[in-house]
Structure 1
Amino acid sequence: MKTSAHLQVIKYRKGILLLCFFPEEKAPEEIAALWKSILAELMLTNYLAGISDLPLPLSKIDLSVERSIHACESSKSHCLPLTRYSELGLSNLLYSLSKDAYSAEYLAELSTRLSGEKYAPLRATMQTLVAQHFDIDETARALYQHPNTIRYRISRLKEHLGVKSELEFQILAILLTVSQSDHSENATGAHTEESAARGTARTRH
């Protein structure tokens, strides 16, 4: 390869894990550009890749690998060829929560309280509130409901989620909405697992 970076290639599940080592710290944009050039040199025509584009010391290589794998999973969920760790936003927090049994079980229990057709209007209201940044008037317009109906549904949601303050409700609404969205996308994804990373890449068959 043309790059002067030190690369290690490791077979990982059904894909490959690429580890890149630098003698000096590089900016995220430099790292992303490097990985894009490496992927171009590999001449892959159909792949899924995740990049850990925020540099970490060698002592934290396990974290770099995990970040790249999560970014690759996001590529799979959103049908994108390449995703950078720095682009994942709140999904990074949800990923860490999903790996913690206590937190994952808590969110699963809360989701169960709103499951079933009976609670579909409440779920739709919660998801739309998140999308509309908790603006009640905009949420009402999006759902073709009166603002007072949205306020009533918010009070019902708070009851079911066991919270009283607006801040607690908003935090849980965001966590539940994003986690449900990720679960839905992962459940419908049909890509073969293949992985590349501090770049992680998956080829699709």
Structure 2
Amino acid sequence: MFFVHGLTGVESGVLMLMALDRYVAICYPLHYATILTNPIIAKAALATFLRGKLLMIPFPFLVKHLPFCHRNIISHTYCDHMSVVKSCASIKINVIYGLMVALLIGVFGICCIFVSYMMILRAVVILSSADARQKAFSTCTAHISAIIITYVPAFFTFFTHRFGKHTIPPSLHIIVANLYLLLPPTLNRIVYGVKTKQIRVS
């Protein structure tokens, strides 16, 4: 459970860093190498990794202290936090902390991505050349596709577990949760591969 959620938290941070990279590449192309130096990239990567992992540390401990009185078989294909915490006792703390982590990682990431793309859009609109505008938009399409592939099933899984668990069938929860884990790593290589000229040609 820790590694599954920790790595998805890191993945969200990577998408946020990629949005920052696109912003610097499009808005400050001549200063790209001086703004995003190797030490800055290494520090940002380390901070993203630590954020994704540190926020997940309480989950195993919160689950460990719950009393379980039913069979210990979860309904999911992997150890999703909300599937594991089917306990006899109150799971209010687990739900609140899980929601807080979803907001800190997911919503914060989406807000940062949105702000960076608004600034990119503003910079692209003032470009005089239609070809330059096309090239700038083309740079962002793969990243936007990766964001949609990652965040749509993730938010569905996070919020329906907490707010719509009585109205949505469990099988749909499981299918979308599996898509949330499997779609991004499967489709990202296709999305970014199609954008690479050498791969398209071969």
TM-score norm. by structure 1 comes to 0.24
Higher strand residue share: 1
TM-score (norm 2): 0.24
Greater helix proportion: 2
